[in-house]
Structure 1
Amino acid sequence: MPKPPTVYDVAAQAGVSIATVSRVIRDPDTVKAATRDRVNAAIEQLGYVPSASARGLAARRTNVIGLFFPRHDDVEPPALAEQTEVSVITGDDEQPENENLYYDEVLRGAELEASRRGFALMIASGTGGELERLVTDLAGRVDGLAVLAGTVPMEMLERVARHIPVVLLGGDGRQDRFDHVHSNNGPGMKKLAEHLLERGAKSFAYVRGPEGVADDDERFGGFSQAVGDRPVEVVRGDFTRRGGRAAARALTSTPDAIVCANDQTALGVLDVITPHEGKPLVTGFDGIAAGRHSSPSLTTVHQPMSELGRAAIDVVTTRLEHPDAPRQTRTLPVRVILRESAP
């Protein structure tokens, strides 16, 4: 099989530099018509198919944006079964629940915006000892990186940011030098807590996420502002439905309201605690579709998850074009949605 033509072959036949070939492919309007015609003729004659790496030669870009999410579970996937029998299982506690519907929505928005801007999206997910290897490897393959705030050590992000733009999903940017995209977490949770107070709640349980997650800190701060010195039992969860069930079983009090840091946690709480005569009130935060269909349907704070993903890509690509622009933090609006779990 003959060796496929390269960008160097096109440049040689057209009598131009490889940078010019790349500009004709990436941004043809910036090249004189006569030169552009020679390059296009060489491409057609040679049968050259531009690759992502060739398109990025002039600008030293890959045309790929990286997106890194943590993994909040350590569930081993089951071995591939060779048998064909259908098994019957009672209950769902032992079933792995690896889905994260918040990430799914953010990812959908990021994919749309990356595609619209002519970039591919490369995704990695990990935790623990593999985290540094994964982030370093991802950063070496992309033009810019979006990371959930608080999930990657700051010193690692500082190293990465010496080479490529980094935007954090979450956090407000007051403690670092990165661009940030986040929802209006604190005020949204404060408004939700004020609604629970209006409903007559006097004692609370609050199910948080893992330590060090900026969004969780902001939401708990907004909740605390609203409830003041009223009794609050705080339990740590992990943002998963399974973790929500465990947190509900760990409660030592019988509060008027159980406030959860995200919807999947709240759905886990509802798996264990069915409100009777309107108590306890149960709420979440995110606005995932599953909350509309739970029983009871879930009162929550809806954040524009898909728009967060789109905004993150927009900030990264803007930083690529304007590396010296002032640092920015984009705050997206939220809405309190009242449903059956806390009407």
Structure 2
Amino acid sequence: MSKAATVYDVADRAGVSIATVSRVLRSPDAVRPVTRERVLDAVSALGYVPSGSARGLAERRTGVLGLYFPGFDAAEEAPALDVLANIAGATPPFTIVQDETDAEGEHPSMLFLDEVLRGAELEAWKQGFVLMVGVGRHDPDRSTVRDMAGRVDGLVVLARSVPDEVLARLALRIPVVVLSGPSRGDSYDHVTVSNAEAMAELTRRVLDQTGDTPPVFLAGPDDSPDGAERWEGFSHAISEAGIRIDEVVVLRGDFTRASGRRAAEQLISDGLPTALMAANDQMALGALDAFRSAGIAVPEDLIVTGFDGIEAAALSRPRLTTVRQPMIELGRAAVQVLARRLERPDADPVAVRLPLEIVVRESSLRPS
């Protein structure tokens, strides 16, 4: 195997300096055509491949972007798994089971953060970066995101997943883009959606069918900026309809399907409202599970709505009325904004706000 060509070999063959070789490879339009062609011919003839690690050291860049999420996936509920136990072939290659449960209610579905991750990975690849993902499970001192910050060129974080003081220190070292949640007078770039406006309009549509009786609102975690904006939109529409906000029953969930089931079971025990509006689809789907198990008809007995537009919302029984977020586009936009910040570190902060779609389905359509 012959020795790999170096930048010095290319420069010698083309009769130029190594700085010129570097300029041709990084900014070819900045070099005269005759010189550029001579360098590229030398690169081709020698089979020269630039060293990514050496280039990264010279530019103080890693070529890696970070994406940090909180631990929303209930990892503590995952069963134990020891794949090494199967090396000796002690277990049979397959088993046959009779599935007698309601698969729709139990199987996992594509979540909001999964779709955002897909979009971020796609855009990172298109922009020439590698994406590093960190999940802050049981991470009170935020050691995960601190470690990530030392290994990436820039960081996308879900709003309020990192304490303000920690985020401020990280932003002194690398660019930070905040995903979901509006700017609070900070100097970060933000990528968000019109949560409040869309929830207000959805609430008006529900009130058109329920009249003066307010829906129950199933809120998410109290530290969720998206949840806070959705409550803002809901409460605005309630007040606009002349209903006192203190008449609204508010239940608290954690954005999981299980918490939606628990909330619905409480309503079944206490008495059904005219409608249940959940701050995300997973909780709404959990409520549908519980209502169906109890023989309660949706939307005949009560209306149910969600928010996010995950795939499972279109497959539920009945299909779920929701607000569809551009989840993949959110991930892509966050990476685009971060890449722009790396190229223009002194530019003013930007706030990208993506539109939403209200998707009306059977769970909110009562027979006329």
**Which 5+ residue runs of structure 2 have no aligned equivalent?**
none
Is contact 2:210–2:275 with CA below 8 Å preserved after alignment? no
Residues 169 and 37 of structure 1: CA distance in aligned 2, closer, same or farther (over 3 Å):
same
For residues 171-209 of structure 1, what are the alpha-carbon distances to aligned partners after superposition, in whole Å with 9 as ceiling and x for unaligned? 110342211111100011111111111111513222222
Structure 1 residues 3-82: aligned runs within 5 Å = 16-17=17-18, 21-33=21-33, 36=36, 40=40, 43-44=43-44, 47-72=47-72, 73-74=74-75, 75-79=77-81, 80=83, 82=91
Which residue does 2:223 correspond to in 1? 212
Which residue does 2:285 correspond to in 1? 267
User: What fraction of aligned residue pairs are identical, expressed as a percent?
Assistant: 48
Residue 25 of structure 1, CA deviation: 3.0
**Match for residue 296 of structure 1 among 280, 293, 318:** 318
User: In structure 1, the residue corresponding to 2:191 is in which secondary structure?
Assistant: strand
Structure 1 residues 328-339: aligned runs within 5 Å = 328-339=350-361
Partner Cα distance (1:10, 1:98) in 2: 54
Partner Cα distance (2:342, 2:279) in 1: 33
Partner Cα distance (1:236, 1:28) in 2: 57
- Higher radius of gyration, 1 or 2: 2
**Match for residue 234 of structure 2 among 213, 223, 235:** 223
Is contact 2:279–2:307 with CA below 8 Å preserved after alignment? yes
Partner Cα distance (1:20, 1:63) in 2: 22
Q: Confirm or deny that 1:193 pairs with 2:195.
A: no
Residues 141 and 41 of structure 1: CA distance in aligned 2, closer, same or farther (over 3 Å):
farther
Which residue does 1:237 correspond to in 2? 253
Residue 8 of structure 1, CA deviation: 7.1
Residues 23 and 232 of structure 1: CA distance in aligned 2, closer, same or farther (over 3 Å):
farther
**Which 5+ residue runs of structure 1 have no aligned equivalent?**
none
Which residue does 1:153 correspond to in 2? 163
Is contact 1:63–1:119 with CA below 8 Å preserved after alignment? yes
Which residue does 1:283 correspond to in 2? 305
Matched letter for residue 338 of structure 1: V
Which residue does 1:108 correspond to in 2? 118
Residue 69 of structure 1, CA deviation: 1.7
Residues 54 and 107 of structure 1: CA distance in aligned 2, closer, same or farther (over 3 Å):
same
Is contact 1:243–1:265 with CA below 8 Å preserved after alignment? yes
Residues 299 and 163 of structure 1: CA distance in aligned 2, closer, same or farther (over 3 Å):
same
Structure 1 residues 82-121: aligned runs within 5 Å = 82-83=91-92, 84-88=94-98, 90-91=100-101, 100-121=110-131
The TM-score, its normalising length taken from structure 2, stands at: 0.81
User: In structure 2, the residue corresponding to 1:129 is in which secondary structure?
Assistant: coil
Partner Cα distance (1:270, 1:145) in 2: 37
Partner Cα distance (1:66, 1:87) in 2: 41
Residues 337 and 288 of structure 1: CA distance in aligned 2, closer, same or farther (over 3 Å):
same
Residues 221 and 57 of structure 1: CA distance in aligned 2, closer, same or farther (over 3 Å):
same
Q: Confirm or deny that 1:318 pairs with 2:320.
A: no
Decide which moves more: 307-316 or 293-302: 307-316
Which residue does 1:138 correspond to in 2? 148
Partner Cα distance (1:187, 1:142) in 2: 35
Is contact 1:69–1:124 with CA below 8 Å preserved after alignment? yes
Residues 37 and 227 of structure 1: CA distance in aligned 2, closer, same or farther (over 3 Å):
same
Decide which moves more: 206-215 or 70-79: 70-79
Residue 27 of structure 1, CA deviation: 2.8
Residues 12 and 63 of structure 1: CA distance in aligned 2, closer, same or farther (over 3 Å):
farther
Is contact 2:116–2:331 with CA below 8 Å preserved after alignment? yes
Partner Cα distance (1:77, 1:40) in 2: 55
Residue 323 of structure 1, CA deviation: 1.5
Matched letter for residue 127 of structure 2: R
Q: Confirm or deny that 1:173 pairs with 2:174.
A: no
Partner Cα distance (2:144, 2:47) in 1: 37
Residues 28 and 13 of structure 1: CA distance in aligned 2, closer, same or farther (over 3 Å):
same
**Match for residue 135 of structure 2 among 109, 125, 132:** 125
Residue 286 of structure 1, CA deviation: 1.0
The TM-score, its normalising length taken from structure 1, stands at: 0.87
Over the aligned positions, Cα root-mean-square deviation in angstroms equals 2.9
Decide which moves more: 109-118 or 171-180: 109-118
For residues 253-272 of structure 1, what are the alpha-carbon distances to aligned partners after superposition, in whole Å with 9 as ceiling and x for unaligned? 42111111111221111111
Higher helix share: 2
User: In structure 1, the residue corresponding to 2:364 is in which secondary structure?
Assistant: coil
Residue 89 of structure 1, CA deviation: 5.6
Residue 68 of structure 1, CA deviation: 1.5
Which residue does 1:341 correspond to in 2? 363
